[in-house]
Structure 1
Amino acid sequence: MELHVVINGRKDLASQLYQQLRDAIESGRLAPGTQLPPSRLLAEQLGISRKTISDTYAVLTYENFLVGKIGSGTFVNARIPISRRKQSHTDFASAELIDYWHNLKSPLRHPTLEGMARYDFIGGATVKNQFPDEEWRRCTQHALRQISNSRGYYSQPEGLPALREAIARHISFARGVVCVDDDVVVCNGAQQALDVIARVLIRQGDTVAMEDPGYSPARLLFSAQGANVVGVPLDDEGIRVDLIPDGTRLIYVTPSHQFPMGMPMSNARRVALLNRAQQLGAIIIEDDYDSEFRYEGRPTDSLQSMDDRGNVAYVGTFSKTLLPELRLGYAVLPPAILEAVIIAKQLTDCHTSTLPQWALAKFIADGYLQKHIRRCLGIYAGRRERILARLNSDLAPWFDVVPSTAGFHMAVLCKVPVNIALLIELGKKVELGLYSLAPFFHDAESKPGLLLGFGAIETLDIDPALDRLKSLLNQLS
């Protein structure tokens, strides 16, 4: 690969070369540690003498911009400070819009590995050592063979047929979703599914109704697309359907494992929700993000399986069953919006990467996914039981558990006044990651409490973590 240097004319060549190399180093375009081409190769590339190149390298080395290593070559000095271009967004016509995006804060942004606490109750994450590396490696090798035999064209925006078929079979079996492979659109995680559905259905000022408290990234996404997002309160049966306002075009719910509180939506409430959507002419997005992990009670039908009018778009993800880093999700769409969503996805990203698609299709077809889910279910069940045992014994003076039967997080509400913000800050000092419920409330009055995820904390770490939590609560008391 050639170094990007532009020489104009035949005059002052050394000065031109010096200035361009120095500017590239100071701006960071040539990163610290980058090896420069040998003088002979750069001379051939630029059509100037080798002596001019060598002399310029020598000057920059003398000024500490470059460093020569005997037997290795010439490198950008790793100790050179990089000067960044100073520019304010207020200089642009879109300053107000840029300000809006600057001020958006997502409460579910995961920290880097270095930012994780020793004992972390973060939601929506799993322990990496549970991932079936060997099986996935075999499926990835299969994917590479499939790609090597392809013609090298862009793929379908709706996803590979093999994966769409595998997803349709899996969710029909595991969740009772009524679908065929042609109803499935493969996405880069559930978040992209929400994005492309919203692009098709809402315009500036349209009303979107969602549970309150609810999944904040969805609320932020709908708001960013110009929607008027209305938070609808919950009760023990789920979303208060009678409070969904007239004029609503889109309704977002998590009926199987309400996020963040955890309760399932009752059957009667589901029927009422479907009827209300039909009255409004609204589409319901059913986000079924982690209900494959069920611990007690009879399985509940998906909302989509109860829909005989084409009002429900079912959204799922493999971030919870496999790994968030894979960024693979899907939507099962009613016929009225299917083709429109496919076009919107094509305009957004053309298509999802085919390598993980081929691998996941093989992973599901060979039974590895079901085997992995069963294994994780046993692990999560043990963690859940241990946390519940502690919450119902020595932590009972402080917290009430919101009943839930699925997923790998639970919500706990404070029985007595607790400064949750201070508790979280104190937890950081003892390597304890705690997360408040407050960011998930929008219009409804916030209830003090914690969201306790148990996917990313090892089973043997639960008691030491909860011991630290109890100690902090005693300090605050």
Structure 2
Amino acid sequence: MRRILIRPFGSILDLHVAIGGRGDRADRIYRQLRDAVLDGRLRRGERLPATRELAERLQVSRSTVSTAYERLTAEGYLAARVGAGTFVAYAGASGGPLPAPRRAAAQPTQAWRDLDDPLWVESRPIAYDFSIGSPDPALFPLETWRTSVAAELRAGFVRNSSYSDPAGVERLREAIARHLGVARSVEAGPDDVLVTSGAQQAFDLLARVALQPGDTVAVEDPGYPPVRQLFEMAGARVVPVPVDEHGLRVDLLPPARLVYVTPSHQFPLGGILPLERRVALLEWAARHDAVVIEDDYDSEYRFGSRPLDPLQRLDADGRVVYVGTFSKTMLPALRLGFVIAPPAILSALRHAKRLTDWHNETVTQRAMARLLDTGAFARHVRAATRVYEERHAVLVRAAGELLPELELVPSAAGLHVALLEPGQPAGRTGVGAGLDARRVAERAGVAGVAFLPVSRFRRGHGPDGILLGFGGIPAAHIPDGLRTLAEAIGREQVRDSGDRVR
């Protein structure tokens, strides 16, 4: 059997054609070209090879190819143009999706089939976007980034394009260590740093090297769902631990192999873990021989006093793994994160990184290092912080005026705030009594307001509420957005009251 690839004229597509064995060769060519047209591999307007050329490549007679072309032309799949050639004429699948596979025998495990995504949704234009988790792309230092990338491409990219260190480009690791030492008092050198594809890959690598199926992992509740899901898919027993206005309730931690915590800005409520709890957490880790993952996901944006030193700074036993990301300060699309880990864990992480994707793309790493080295990154963060500080102030003030029944959780960092339903006496009605934030989100969405309910991040019982991000909404639009949200809450109250009367 002979198989060749044909490249339609003007196309970047190589089309596989197999011929050989017994049977009508013209029919085989016909069926394969027809299928390629129907499923969109050959698109309308693409030119096919001449019959003589294709016959030579397939090592068949020209009449065999001509018979297949003539049949396809008669059925409307192809069209012949005198002096120009033969082109795809059928447009039924042009630009459309490939057809569903005929068989579905290969299936993932039940756990993967049941997995949902509580955070990510397809982005769409919306009038008042209070979504959380992303910075304002309009603040991205595009010209500086373009200059940095261009400089690295000119600096011998092709000559230095072989496989790189799984831990990351040394220049970036040095720059990250310096930046964290100055900005966050993290104690680290370049040999303590591993560059990842965002923070989520860091958590995945840590699950690979620190956990065995059946191990217990403690996570904050409410907390970050993708981390919880990742540990569950790794076979761990995940135990949600309540948080309060100060962060993780360390006194409620069970014996565990690993604990995940966001001490500088608890996600999603915003509390800051006080020093006494930080010390207690490290003592707990020592008693249980546990690993502590410190996720410092957005501490660069602070609108008050300097934050407490990270857990990593207080750790004298080498139990804390510090995870950070550039997704909030630059763009999530860059997929740049990092891990600061004790030597034994870092060595294992380096092997795990090599076995999963070897290393991050090097031009992006070098360009990021250039921004850190030249001070451009620090200038960008300072400028962005001023913008976000204004939005934070406007949001806090407007929420107090327009949503007075909800309690604002104090927060002086990050890109979102949380408003919770307060404790209510039995029988009292109001916005804060039995708030169903998911239903409010649906109603508000119709009115052009996007936000996430606290309940989507909670596994146990606790007050519901709303999370309002200000990374993607201008300060001038915030009051109108909250006014629209307040109206949606009011309509939901009326509906609830009517349901109770009936």
Q: TM-score range by the shorter chain?
A: over 0.9
5+ long unaligned stretches in structure 2:
1-6, 8-13, 423-431, 494-502
Residue in structure 2 matched with residue 74 of structure 1 by the alignment: 87
Measure, in 2, the Cα distance between the counterparts of 1:76 and 1:332: 57
Take 2:44 and 2:133, find their aligned partners in 1: how far apart are those partners? Answer: 37
Residue matched to 2:444: 427
Query: What secondary structure is seen at the aligned counterpart in 1 of 2:402?
Result: coil
Q: Which moved more, 1:19-28 or 1:121-130?
A: 19-28
- Range 369-378 or range 33-42, more displaced: 33-42
Q: Which residue of the partner structure matches residue 410 of structure 1? A: 417
The C-alpha deviation readout for 1:102-136, integer Å capped at 9, x for no partner, is: 21112121423xx3422111111122211111111
Note if contact 2:437-2:454 (Cα within 8 Å) is conserved in structure 1. Answer: no
- Answering whether residue 468 of structure 2 is matched by residue 452 of structure 1, we say yes
Distance verdict in 2 for CA 1:99–1:24, change over 3 Å: farther
Are the counterparts in 1 of residues 135 and 331 from structure 2 also a CA contact under 8 Å? yes
Is structure 2 residue 314 aligned with structure 1 residue 303?
no
Does 2:216 correspond to 1:199? Answer: no
Which amino acid in 1 is paired with 2:414?
A: G
178-187 vs 360-369, which moves further: 360-369
1:348 positional shift: 0.8
One-letter amino acid matched to 1:107: P
Match of 1:132 in 2: 141
For 1:176 and 1:45, how far apart are their aligned partners in 2?
A: 66
Paired residues for 1:82-231 under 5 Å: 83-88=99-104, 91-92=105-106, 95=107, 97-112=108-123, 115-231=124-240
Name the counterpart of 1:260.
268
Q: State the 1:152 CA deviation.
A: 3.4
Tell me how far apart the structure 2 counterparts of residues 24 and 463 of structure 1 sit (CA, whole Å): 54
TM-score, normalised to structure 2's length? 0.88
In the aligned structure 1, how far is the partner of 2:355 from the partner of 2:116? Answer: 26
Matched, 1:251 2:259: yes
What SS class does the counterpart of residue 106 from structure 1 fall into? Answer: coil
Q: What CA RMSD, in Å, does the superposition of the two structures yield over aligned residues?
A: 2.1
Question: C-alpha distance in 1, partners of 2:136/2:70?
Answer: 52
Does residue 368 of structure 2 align to residue 352 of structure 1? Answer: no
Q: Deviations over 1:394-430 (max 9, x none)?
A: 321x311111111001111124223322211111212
* Corresponding residue number in structure 1 for 2:27: 15
Residue number in structure 1 paired with 2:282: 274
Q: Is the 8 A contact 1:157 1:342 kept in 2?
A: yes
The alignment of Structure 1 onto Structure 2 pairs a total of residues equal to 467
CA contact (8 A) 1:127 1:458 kept: no
Percent identity between matched residues is 42
Residues 67 and 363 of structure 1: CA distance in aligned 2, closer, same or farther (over 3 Å): farther
- Mapped contact 2:259–2:293 kept (Cα < 8 A): yes
Distance 1:153 1:72 in 2: 43
User: 1:368: which partner in 2?
Assistant: 376
Bigger Cα Rg: 2
Query: How far apart, CA to CA, are the structure 2 residues paired with 1:35 and 1:201?
Result: 55
Alignment of 1:310-329 (within 5 A): 310-329=318-337
* Alignment check: 8 A CA contact 1:250 1:284 kept: yes
1:55-107 CA distances to partner (integer Å, 9 max, x unpaired)? 4233213323335577585126221485422334xx45xx5x53321211121
Residue of structure 1 in register with 2:425 after alignment: none
Stretch of structure 1 that moved more, 126-135 or 415-424: 415-424
Structure 1 pair 203–10 and aligned structure 2 pair: CA distance change class (3 A): closer
Higher mean Cα deviation, 307-316 or 464-473?
A: 464-473
The TM-score, its normalising length taken from structure 1, stands at 0.93
Q: Could you tell me which residue of structure 1 aligns to residue 56 of structure 2?
A: 44
CA contact (8 A) 1:30 1:76 kept: no
- Are 1:462 and 2:462 an aligned pair? no
Query: CA shift at 1:232, angstroms?
Result: 1.0
Partner residue of 1:241? 250
What is the alpha-carbon distance in structure 2 between the residues aligned to residue 453 and residue 147 of structure 1? 41
After superposing the two structures, state which structure 1 stretch, 376-385 or 51-60, moved more: 51-60
Alignment check: 8 A CA contact 2:157 2:363 kept: no
Query: In 1, are the aligned partners of 2:216 and 2:237 still within 8 Å (CA)?
Result: yes
Is the aligned partner of 1:334 residue 2:346? no
Aligned amino acid, residue 125 of structure 1: S
Note if contact 1:255-1:265 (Cα within 8 Å) is conserved in structure 2.
Answer: yes
Letter in 2 for 1:407: G
**Residue 218 of structure 2 contacts residue 241 of structure 2 at CA under 8 Å; is this kept in 1?**
yes
SS in 1 for 2:102: coil
Q: Which range moved further: 181-190 or 101-110?
A: 101-110
Give the AA of the match of 1:98: T
Q: C-alpha deviations, 1:419-451, integer Å up to 9, x for none?
A: 322211111212211211112112x31321111
- Partner in structure 1 of residue 497 of structure 2: none
RCO higher in structure (CA 8 A, sep ≥6): 1
Structure 1 counterpart SS, 2:440: helix
Change (3 A) 1:427 1:279: same
Deviation string, structure 1 residues 197-233 (Cα, Å, up to 9, x no partner): 1100101110011111111100000000000011111
Relative to structure 1, the CA distance from residue 151 to residue 360 in structure 2 (aligned partners, 3 Å threshold; closer, same or farther) is closer
Mapped to 2, the partners of 1:68 and 1:426 lie a distance apart of 55
Gaps of 5+ in 1: none
Change (3 A) 1:136 1:76: farther
